[in-house]
Each structure stands twice: as C-alpha cells, then as structure tokens.
Structure 1
C-alpha cells in the first residue's frame, strides 16, 4: 500500500492523547510520534524519520542532495541537529524527495510540503486541532470534517484548467501547495511560500549551454536512480517518447525494473514499435497491453480519491490496466515520465526569441534562435518575428493563465473573472523574462498531474522528472536553449543522446489515446447526453446547458477539443456522485455508532 498518513496539530495547548487514540482506532493508522503539540499516524510499521532532538518528523521519502542512494532511513547526529536548528533551509538546500516535514516551533506547529509535490497533503481545521492527511478520506474517517461538496470549489476547479489551488471541491478540505509552509496556531492554519521556481532562475549569461546540459543529466540520473533504489520492484510506463525514454536510460539493465506500454487499436495511439526499440536498447523487459472500451466506465471517476475533480474516462481504463499489471508483477512502485514536457519546456511559443532579445541581443544569436523557432513551430522566420512583437516586454506581468470558461454558466464565469484565481508561482519578478514566465507556468501546471492513483492501492506512483533537483536544473536553463538546433526540449535531448537510440532522440511527433477517448463518447452517446444535461452540474447551476446542448450534437461532440472538456465534465459528475455516496455512508455509520 502507498504511504498514508495523518498528522494532528494542536491549535493551542497540549494535544489530547485520547483524541490521538480515537483517531488511530477510526482510521486504522499507527501512532508513531507524539509530542505535546502534534502526533503523526501512518499506515506503515516503520517509523518516520525523526528531526534532531525530538522536535518533529519527516513523513515520506527523503534523499541527500548529493549522492544516488535510496531514500534515507536514519539520520546521523550532525544531520539531525542541523535540521532541528533550521528545518526549512536545511531541507530545501541539502535534501530532496517526496515528503511532509512536521515540527514544533515554540507554541506553533509547522508543516513543510516538498517542492515536487510527490507526497499529497490536504488538511482540515477542527475546533481543537488541524489535521493534515495524504487523502481526504482519512480526514473524514478521523471525524475532523464531514463530507460535503463545495460547489464554488468545483466551479473554480473547472475554470482554472489544471492550476493548483488551496481551495478544493470538498467543504472544509484545503490543499497544502507544494513548496509551502503551513503554520498552525490558535487561529487555525495559514500558508506561506518557502520554495519558488523564481529562486532558481539564473542569469542566462552566467553558464555555458554544455554546462547546463551536464547539470540536467546528472540531476535526472540522480533522481531516477534514487527513486528506483528505494523500492523492491518497479514498473516504468514507457511509450518511446522522450521523457519516459530518458527515465528508462537511467535504470537500463536494472533487474528491479520492468516496462509497460498501453496502446490503442488505432495506429496513432500505438507506439509499441518505439517502446520495443527503447526496451531492447536499455535491456529492460516490456509488457504491452491494449486500451479496452469495456474498462472505460463513464459512471466511475478516475479521481474519486482526490478532494477535487479532474479526471477523464480514458484514465479509468488506463488505471485499471495498470492496477492489474502491478498486481501481476507484485510491484510496489509505478514510475512515469509525467511532467517531462513541462520541466524540459516543450513549447511552441515564440517567447524564447523575446528572452534572447532582452537578455543577450546579439545579431548572430537572435538569427539562430529565429531559425530554431521557425523549425519548432513549423512557421516562417517572418511569422515568428511577427508573433514575437505581441509578447509583453516591459516590466510587469508577462504571462496570463489561460482559464477555460467552456460550458460554464455565465454567472460563474463573471464571478470567477472578478475573483481571479491564481498561484504563488505565477507571481514573477517585474523584470522576469516572458519565456521563463511561460516555463514556470508549465511547471506549475504539472502539479495537476500528480496523485492519479488512490493511496489505498498496493503501490506508490512517482514522477521522477518532477523531483526538486531536476526542476531546479531545468529552471536555470535559458528559454532559447530549450529549442537550440530547431528541436523542442533541446537540453534534455542533448543530455541523453549518447544513452538512447537516435530514432527516439530525433522523434518529434507523439501519439496518444485521443481516438480512444472520442470512441468512449460515441459509444455512450445517449448516456453522455442525459448525464450531462440532467446531472448535478446542471442542477447546481455550474454549466451552461444551452451551450452544452449544441456541443452534444452527434456531429459536434468530437469537434475540435470539445471531447476533452466533455470527458472532464463526465468525470466530474462521477466524482460528485462518489463523494455524495460517501457522505450517505458516513452518516449511516455515524448513526449506527451513536445507536450502539
């Protein structure tokens, strides 16, 4: 089972031991740590790492900043003292991983979520304590919060289009954002930014391209190998695309790793030939499976375990196949290349030429980047130059998040436009370069890809390319170097060119399950239409029914990107039903408990 945890942090005074015992009984978790102000309960028999003199603990996996070994299982005395003296600085500068660090600071309790967001963390504020947990189900089982849909949170989630938010779709449940520090006191819980991408964006003229390439390679290999060494048996999802192939190269020949690829019956979604070439090159076994329509249940949410909607039916089919494969191989970790496009800055924007103009305006350099972008964007040099003139260059905001109002009710759209949801990582310095603003936005978006699998399953899902050292190394690379030579993700390609087949390094186009996703809608047409027009989103005024009716016409349902949005709305209906059903069960259990 993936690590599940619950932390109880007193809002003032001594934490009641009886409360800790009761929560342990309700959740089935083991209390490993108790202090006067907080307690840590987990699903593992192994105790979390202790910080120094007993001030706190680190839940999850922690690695030394330098070295490629498995996750740390114990601290030496010097490391423990350093952590207890300055936990935030020490953790962010000398370590990395997927963790939540919790410690007592005088009358306060603090909790730091690592910058990668590999370990989920949501929380709820109770009358006596704040509870932090790996999943909202634990908050509910612990009795800290009741199940209730936050319709405003649901509307916000649909509108922000993958932008991580503190507010969730469940009333009383909040997310601790990656890289943020939570502080618990008598007033409740507040968050502050401790790690920001902007701390790691360097002067673009300080370091040569080849040095950036080498630093990126070392960071990826360190993190990939460190994660794999932490688990007994792992499965790596591969497609023959660049990102998953890079991970495969890091663990080439490892007896603890097997590869897995999922294909569609439609040629554009079948990348088996690339996956086979990759695995042969890396001496890794490969298992191939096919998407099955009967496993794409639109009545089931792919993210029913999360405190917000965001799944799609094709993910249900994918996840079921993964779960079967993990069980068949008795694997305990599932690795993916998720986030690679974001971290390595796979962009078709012309912003990099503007960055070069502002930071290093030499004629040969500008002409080289113009040619590179013309190849990447498949446009003429003149078209690239024309687009570049529309990119903001003056001091001030240089990036606006692309919110998605499609199919939302006009009333909600107006409200959300006024509310302007945001994220602290998007708050760039006034002199930030526009291309780097776009890069940071892509990294911010990657947080949405995390935690696709339920923590109650018997394996842990990890995206090594989103590890802190990899992200920091990528952020230091000037945006125009990401398209050097006329290819996307240039630095990553250059870093791993000696370690991968040339076909994969040169590959620019990638397939996907789009045709399968469209077939899900077509094969369930009547059910899709009735479910969306007569569902909870419509009943609660979240969606614009007239606009949706037009899009649900048979000849328009898969028009453009309509199908992507429709699948999201369908999964949201299932997510709502799952939590409302959970609320009913919770109320029944509560009544039975009182009656007994």
Structure 2
C-alpha cells in the first residue's frame, strides 16, 4: 500500500496480459532506458511492457528496458510477485501476520494495516550503530525490507528471491578507456538523466553544497531558469562548515536564487525530537530538525514540487581517497607499464609516499579471496557498545549476491558497488516531513550508475583527485574553484557545540534509557564517558548524537502502545 500524496508525483502503470490471467501495477516513475525519456506518464499505463515476458525473465525485461524509482506488484493464479528498482530509493517494508504478508512504502501505513506488536531487533540496531553503512534491515524484528533490485515470488510453497539486475554485469574488468571521450559521455549522460527526472516538475529546489550538487546545478540550468529553479545551502559557524563561497559562485554562474540557512546548535527536548514521523531505523533527529522544519516552510511558501540532491554522488563518482586505482590497474595485467603513474596519483590523494603504498598494492594483485569491506577497511570494537552484543555483530563475510567474487573483477569495483547493497538510499532517510515533495537523486539514475561502474577506477580518480573524471567532464561548465577544491564539508564543530549545549539532556536521556536496558549500550563505559571530568573528543561526540537519535527512535516505538 502507498500513501496518497498532495504532490502527485508517482504514477500507476497498469499491466495486463491479453493471453493470460496475470495482472499487475507499477508504482513510481518509469523512463525509457534507450531514450532516457519518460514513458507513458500521462496515460498511467505501460503498454510496451509484456507482463508474460516480465514474469518469464523474473523482472529482467523491466530492468533492461526501463529505469526510474518504482515497485511492481503482479498477480498470476495463486502466485504474487514484487519487484523493487535496482537503486532501491522507493521504500518497501513488509510484515507477516496470520499468514498474510502486508507490504507498504511507509511505516505509518504498515501500522494502520496491521495490529501486531513490535519489538526492537537489538542485533540490527547494534550493527547499525557500529558500522553505519548497514541499512539493509529494519530495527524491528517483525518488519523486513524488500531490498534494491529484488524480485520476490510469493507462492503457497514459500518465498523465493532473485536479482534480475546485478552491477557485476557492468563492472569494468581492467579495460582502459580514453578519459577525454569518457568525460564527455559522463557529462552528457548525467545531464540527460537529470533533465528527464526534472521534466515532470514545475518548480525545483536543489540542496547545494559541494562538487556533486554543483554538477547537478549545471545540468539543471540548461533547461531551467530562475523562475522554476532555486538552491538552498546550509552553513555553520566554522570554516569547514561553511561552503557559501563556492555555492554563491556556482549559483551566480547560472543566475538562480540562493537561500542560505544558518545551522546553529540549539537546546533539545524530547517532545521536539519526537515530532518526526515513525521510521524503520533512526533519523537524524538531533542534527537537522530545525533545518527540516524550515525547509518544510520554504517548500509550502514557494510551492516547490521537487527537491533535488547530490546524495550518492560521492559513491557513484568515486570520491575514494584510496589506492584502488593502482590496485585495479595492476590486477589483471602482466606488464603494467603505467602502474607507477597511478601509484603517484594514489599517493597524492592520500598524502602518502609512493613506496608506503607499494606493499598493499602488490598484495592485492594476488588476493583472490571474496572481497569484504570490513576486512579491507577494518572495524575494531567500540568501548561504548555492550561487549556481548559486539561479539554477536562482528562482521563476517559480505553475503549479498552482488558481492560474489568473480576473479576478473578487481577489488576497486567491489568497493564501488558495495554501497548499493546496503539500503543507504531509501527515501525514508531523506527528510522528516510527513508528506514532503519527492526527493530526486540523479546520481542513482540506473543508466548513469551502469556507466560509472563500467569505468576503471584509475580513470574515475584522474589526476590524483577524487571524482577526477567528473571534474574533467564539467570543466568550463562549473567554476574552476569548485572543480579544484579538495576540502569537504565537516560538521565536527557543530556536533561539538551541540553536545556541549545539551550535555545534561543527553546524559539524562541515555543513562537509564532503552538502549541501556536492552544491553545495546555498555552502561559503565557510557557513565565514564559522560563524567564531567572527562572531555569528549570528536569521535565520542558523534557516538553520543547517534545514541541519542537511536534512543529517541526506540522511545517513539515504545510510545506506540504496540511495543513488547
């Protein structure tokens, strides 16, 4: 079930099978993959999709010919089918009670449709707090998620899961490319997909800050003007938290209005934090509550019907300051004649010497073990989480089918696709409003993701710059100061101020809260951290804010009256 929205963005594409009893519907927005244009949006149907073919291919005919954010529901005889788009931006939750499976795009609607009690899944919450990236499960034991790209078949004999789309089919396997030609294609593809996504909207608000959103601004400005495109940026009272100099240059180049919002730390209270809607995992209640409130007001005042964001740009454009470029170049080559130049670029990105990188690069050439993010990048124990819980959530092998090791795929490509397996991009994490306008993330356009996966990592980080190929692609389209910028936005000062201002509230909320009672937080370690005699460092401040967000989330569920 999906909630009716006043913004009327999502369409219903009705499917039927003239030769059989199957019927279905696709909810969302579909675009033709061959033309990057919206398909049949006005007719609310998709006659070019063969329902029988879709079922025969277990969804592959849909992902091969169309892209967008969508979920498909199909029924044939005693079998029912569900397919989620490969990027997984469309939230899709499910629960089973009394032999009935209920699927919904929002948690409030799921609760309305069911009457069962719910309980915290302490292992999932512990993993979420410890590793951050893990959002492929919900924090409730009784609620599951349909994951990006899944095709589910519900039959009298149970549920079977397949993946009709896999990023492994598109991953570069060591082939080099001409960076000049690739940069032109990258820019043209990002512009065409962004403009296709923008076409249904009358007035767009772009969240802008760094490089990724500035590239989107360039794409949008080709078909938009100051009348139907504006930008908004957040700034904080510290140099690393203030990007206005770059943002003003970007918006000034294309002459669109810019809204600037000062984000300052304020006193928190539980009623204020609990005002956000109920979700499957914690939101950033403490950090951005005031901004989200003001954003909602701006949207209402100015009649914006879409929010565009550069979310996922870091991952898709390859903002990794690592040695993967050099590793991948060496991986499948007997005579790596350009290896030293790519080692130099890796060293420049990491501010390390070339020779300090050489051992790890050489080892990668002979390592054919299944790739694991946690094994490669390490995650020790946290002193704040309960020791017994940590023993149960230690990362093992990454078991997602997309991470199945193929000998011809170099390790940097697994690093590239890894975020796609973790449910990071579901729209439930994009805002606090009950009925916000659609949040559009062009970097997750399926054709663009497929193209970026096909590019070698050493070219994506051209000239020793993270997102180097993207910088090359938008030369002369985006101001040079933005393209040459190496620094990243940091909220460390803001978090420190927020913790200092609300130290007593955080201590009182956490010390005997649900996370301590459920043995997710180690009470003694927390008490030691929160002692007035001990100053908290930047890492501890981030932990405390994440704990506070999670505690508020758990209490919201407890206050539902259907918590056990």
Q: TM-score, normalised by structure 1?
A: 0.84
The offset of 1:464, in angstroms, is: 1.4
1:82 aligns with 2:55: no
2:120 aligned partner = 149
The offset of 1:555, in angstroms, is: 6.8
2:133 aligned partner = 162
Tell me the alpha carbon deviations over residues 6-47 of structure 1, each in whole angstroms, 9 at most, x when there is no partner: 4xxxxxxxxxxxxxxxxxxxxxx67xxxxxxxxxx9996986
* Matched residues, number: 548
1:463 aligns with 2:454: no
Change (3 A) 1:175 1:446: closer
Q: For structure 1, which segment, 210-219 or 569-578, has the greater mean C-alpha deviation from structure 2 after superposition?
A: 210-219
1:377 aligns with 2:347: no
The offset of 1:78, in angstroms, is: 8.5
1:37 aligned partner = none
1:356 aligned partner = 329
Give the counterpart of 2:72 among 88, 98, 101. Answer: 101
Q: For structure 1, which segment, 108-117 or 51-60, has the greater mean C-alpha deviation from structure 2 after superposition?
A: 51-60
Verify the 8 A CA contact 1:309 1:571 in the aligned structure 2.
yes
Verify the 8 A CA contact 2:385 2:520 in the aligned structure 1.
yes
2:13 aligned partner = 49
Give the counterpart of 1:426 among 389, 399, 403. Answer: 403
The offset of 1:232, in angstroms, is: 2.0
Tell me the alpha carbon deviations over residues 559-579 of structure 1, each in whole angstroms, 9 at most, x when there is no partner: 142222221111000001111
Please give the alpha-carbon distance, in whole angstroms, between the structure 1 residues aligned to 2:208 and 2:488.
12
Please give the alpha-carbon distance, in whole angstroms, between the structure 2 residues aligned to 1:521 and 1:76.
49
Q: For structure 1, which segment, 151-160 or 108-117, has the greater mean C-alpha deviation from structure 2 after superposition?
A: 151-160
Cα root mean square deviation, aligned: 2.9
The offset of 1:450, in angstroms, is: 4.2
Verify the 8 A CA contact 1:61 1:72 in the aligned structure 2.
no
Change (3 A) 1:553 1:462: farther
2:190 aligned partner = 220
The offset of 1:106, in angstroms, is: 4.1
Q: For structure 1, which segment, 570-579 or 512-521, has the greater mean C-alpha deviation from structure 2 after superposition?
A: 512-521
| Pairs within 5 Å for 1:59-458 | 59-70=27-38, 72-73=40-41, 79-86=47-54, 88-143=59-114, 145-165=116-136, 167-187=137-157, 189-205=159-175, 207-239=177-209, 241-252=210-221, 253-254=224-225, 255-294=227-266, 300=273, 304-309=277-282, 311=284, 313-360=286-333, 362-389=335-362, 391=364, 393-401=366-374, 402=378, 405-406=381-382, 407-417=384-394, 422-444=399-421, 447-448=424-425, 450-451=427-428, 452-454=430-432, 456-458=434-436
Verify the 8 A CA contact 2:292 2:433 in the aligned structure 1.
no
Gaps of 5+ in 2: none
Q: For structure 1, which segment, 97-106 or 295-304, has the greater mean C-alpha deviation from structure 2 after superposition?
A: 295-304
| Pairs within 5 Å for 1:542-557 | 542-554=520-532
Please give the alpha-carbon distance, in whole angstroms, between the structure 1 residues aligned to 2:421 and 2:49.
33
Change (3 A) 1:249 1:47: closer
Please give the alpha-carbon distance, in whole angstroms, between the structure 1 residues aligned to 2:440 and 2:323.
32
Verify the 8 A CA contact 1:334 1:459 in the aligned structure 2.
yes
The offset of 1:361, in angstroms, is: 5.2
Give the counterpart of 1:524 among 471, 478, 502. Answer: 502
Change (3 A) 1:224 1:557: farther
Partner SS for 2:447: helix
Verify the 8 A CA contact 1:356 1:480 in the aligned structure 2.
yes
Partner SS for 2:83: strand
Q: For structure 1, which segment, 379-388 or 345-354, has the greater mean C-alpha deviation from structure 2 after superposition?
A: 379-388
The offset of 1:264, in angstroms, is: 0.9
Please give the alpha-carbon distance, in whole angstroms, between the structure 2 residues aligned to 1:403 and 1:263.
31
Tell me the alpha carbon deviations over residues 190-224 of structure 1, each in whole angstroms, 9 at most, x when there is no partner: 43322222121033326433343233223211221
Please give the alpha-carbon distance, in whole angstroms, between the structure 1 residues aligned to 2:46 and 2:121.
46
Q: For structure 1, which segment, 421-430 or 192-201, has the greater mean C-alpha deviation from structure 2 after superposition?
A: 421-430
Change (3 A) 1:228 1:578: same
Tell me the alpha carbon deviations over residues 328-356 of structure 1, each in whole angstroms, 9 at most, x when there is no partner: 21212111101100111111111221111
Change (3 A) 1:575 1:290: same
Gaps of 5+ in 1: 7-28, 31-40, 588-596
Q: TM-score, normalised by structure 2?
A: 0.89
Partner SS for 1:86: helix
The offset of 1:468, in angstroms, is: 1.1
Verify the 8 A CA contact 1:302 1:571 in the aligned structure 2.
no
Change (3 A) 1:303 1:186: farther
Verify the 8 A CA contact 1:164 1:444 in the aligned structure 2.
no
